[in-house]
Structure 1
Amino acid sequence: MTSAKRRRRVLRWVLWSLLGLVVLVVGGTVIWSQVGVMQAEPEPLAAAEANPALTIDDDAAAGIVLAPADGGSEVGLVFIPGAKVQPEAYISKLQDLAAEDGITVVITRPWLNLAFFDLRGLDAFTSAAPGIDTWMVGGHSLGGVRSCQLAPDADALVLFGSYCANDLSDSDLPALSLSGSEDGLSTPQKIADARHLLPEDAEMVEIDGASHASFGDYGPQDGDGTPTISDEDMRRQLAEPIGSLADALR
């Protein structure tokens, strides 16, 4: 065999090996993203669906849209779920924002159940409510990290048991950080360590007794702390500061 043929044969082997590795990595990632997805607990979801002051629509492109039943909404929130958490698991905790505070909430469906794989811009979600011009963006856990990346295109940022990885400290963006005293994943220390990445006047609210999973309704989560707050009180303590922020934006 000539040296030229030998080189071509080695090159083909290398290329096919690389292709096989890419297929394995992509295939493995897709399979992993679908395994162990934390599902919405049925009882809180059913109660929210029965709320007469709330409408719930499923927009095939944008996600789940929560809106006040009377249709009066001037401010919206694009909410990005945490990693491998079913979007429906957040409906119950966020329902009061729409039903009582008049905020339209778009809960996104991240590609592969992971916010970092979803490269869509904010307008891909705000398009679900074209009549609203003022938008907050926020998210839980990994979804909050992604929301920080989208924040420059929004009117305000809301973090739910999360923190930024990119620097927004020099922006004049209104920002609200909601954290839990019993959060074993986005711990109070991690929240404090990333505080410098938010604007100086960002509002920091630690909810006493809240764990990481308290921000949704999907059951306990590995590595998390033990919550001591009721679901009803958690809903109230989420809605109050977000409602106040929405009022300031109106």
Structure 2
Amino acid sequence: MKTRKKVLIGLVITFVILSIAGWFGWQKLHYPPAAEAVSAVENAEDKGDFFYFPGEEEKPLVIFYPGALVDAESYSVWASALADEGYAVAIVKMPFDLAVLGGNRAVKVLADAPQTTYVIGGHSLGGVMASRFAANESDGVEQKLAGVFYFASYPDEKGSLADRDLPVLSLIGSRDQIVNHDNWQSAKDYLPDTAVFKEIELGTHAGFGTYGEQRGEEPTDLTNSEQQQIIADTMAEWLSSLSK
């Protein structure tokens, strides 16, 4: 009995040590929001599972999945600017900041949304998982899917929209050194022929959020505030075209 108790205590101690080490490792790897994003998120309602920037009910709701290891708050700058144009934005919070662990969380957003239509998209890995949600719309979702968008991202086979009659916007930065450009190019086979592709001159991968520089990427002359405004303007233009 004593031996068994010692083994059990040893396992518990090991688990605690590994949990603490994993937590500190995650803290070191993930990207917290910059001060501008922390300020901008104050314009949103914290719904628990997502941040909601209010907009007009007759316009499509914008559901957004963050990139891997990036806090949801980090996308508040462009989201707040887009909400000023009348488009409600819901930035989904992901478990451990990984959309792959919460790909179906848009259902929670839609269950609380007054809008009758919505678009969904995301940044990097978030865009992959948003595309999967769009390709396999869940039962019980009453709202109509009006479009899909990608920020420095692309669909995989599970998220293929090639056979869907959906408006698609793909936005990428010309200085993005994180996205796999070969995969981004070949993934066009998973998109409708009508997909719109736009490039932000001097834009970076990290520039789609406001969390500082991304590891592996070089600085650019385009400021974060400039890229954020371009994103908001481009999204507003695309969203307005959906009703035409």
Instruction: Name the TM tier (shorter chain).
Output: 0.7 to 0.9
| Structure 1 residues 30-81: Cα deviation after superposition (integer angstroms, max 9, x where no partner) | 64555422110013432x357xxxx410001x3001124xx56521111001
Structure 1 residue 186 displacement after superposition: 1.1
CA deviation string 1:112-147 (max 9, x = no partner): 211111142532122332x10111001001101111
Q: Which residue of 2 aligns with 1:15?
A: none
Is residue 67 from structure 1 mapped to residue 60 from structure 2 by the alignment?
no
Mapped pair 1:107 → 2:91: yes
Q: Deviations over 1:207-238 (max 9, x none)?
A: 11011000011111111243221233312321
Do the aligned partners of residues 228 and 119 (structure 1) sit closer, same or farther apart at CA in structure 2, a change above 3 Å counting? same
Quote the Cα distance in structure 1 between the aligned partners of 2:133 and 2:20: 28
Q: Which residue of 2 aligns with 1:128?
A: 112
Counterpart CA distance in 2 for 1:203 and 1:30 is 40
Alignment partner of 1:219 out of 212, 219, 223: 212
Could you tell me which of 39, 57, 60 is aligned with 2:45? 57
Structure 1 stretch 208-217 or stretch 116-125: which is displaced more?
116-125
Preserved CA contact (<8 Å) 1:160 1:179: yes
Aligned twin of 1:79: 64
Task: Give the superposed CA RMSD.
Answer: 2.7
- 1:136, 1:42 → 2: CA distance? 28
Rounded to whole Å, the distance in 2 between the matches of 1:117 and 1:223 is: 24
Instruction: Kindly tell me the number of residue pairs found equivalent between the two proteins.
Output: 220
- Return the TM-score normalized by structure 2: 0.80
| Counterparts of 1:125 and 1:49, CA distance in 2 | 17
Cα offset for 1:168? Answer: 1.6
Gaps of 5+ in 2: 1-10, 138-144
State the alpha-carbon separation in 2 of the partners of residues 56 and 97 from structure 1: 12
SS in 2 for 1:155: strand
In 2, Cα distance between equivalents of 1:65 and 1:202:
27
Letter of the structure 2 residue corresponding to residue 141 of structure 1: S
Mark the runs of 5 or more structure 1 residues left unpaired by the alignment: 1-18
Q: Is the 8 A contact 2:209 2:228 kept in 1?
A: no
Instruction: After the TM superposition, list the runs of 4 or more consecutive aligned residues in structure 1 that deviate by more than 4 angstroms.
Output: 26-30, 32-35
Q: Deviations over 1:1-32 (max 9, x none)?
A: xxxxxxxxxxxxxxxxxx99xx89x9699645
Select between 152-161 and 116-125 the one with higher mean Cα deviation.
116-125
The equivalent of 2:130 in structure 1 is 147
Tell me the TM-score normalized by structure 1.
0.78
Percent identity over paired residues: 28
Work out whether residues 146 and 167 of structure 2, in 8 Å CA contact, stay in contact via their aligned partners in 1: yes
